[in-house]
Amino acid sequence: MKITSIVIFLFFLSVGTNVFMDKGIGLSNSQLLAHQLSPFWTMGVGEYFMLIFLLGIIIGQPIYYNIKNKERNEDGSN
């Protein structure tokens, strides 16, 4: 329960930081709400590449280790 409350607190803290930063650059409330509800509309090309790269690492690493373990098991070494 403590970990869940800490995660929720950090989530609201990060949303609050984003809201204050958007307010600081002079966005209206409707633009501010749009940025919070759909972050992919506000991402640039470099951020999309970074997102794809990180997802590739997260998905690719287990696949790589699974293939490596299958090859190791087929060789007879355990």
**pLDDT tens-digit profile of 26-55?**
989 888 888 888 877 778 899 899 999 999
- The crossing angle, in degrees rounded to 10, of helices 2-24 and 29-37 is 140
Mean per-residue pLDDT over the chain, rounded: 88
pLDDT at 43: 80
CA distance 45 to 54: 14
What share of the chain in percent tops pLDDT 90? 50
Give the CA radius of gyration of the chain. Answer: 21
pTM of the shown model: 0.49
Predicted confidence band at 76 (pLDDT cuts at 50, 70, 90)?
low
- Neighbouring residues of 36: CB distance < 8 A, sequence distance ≥ 6: 15, 18, 19
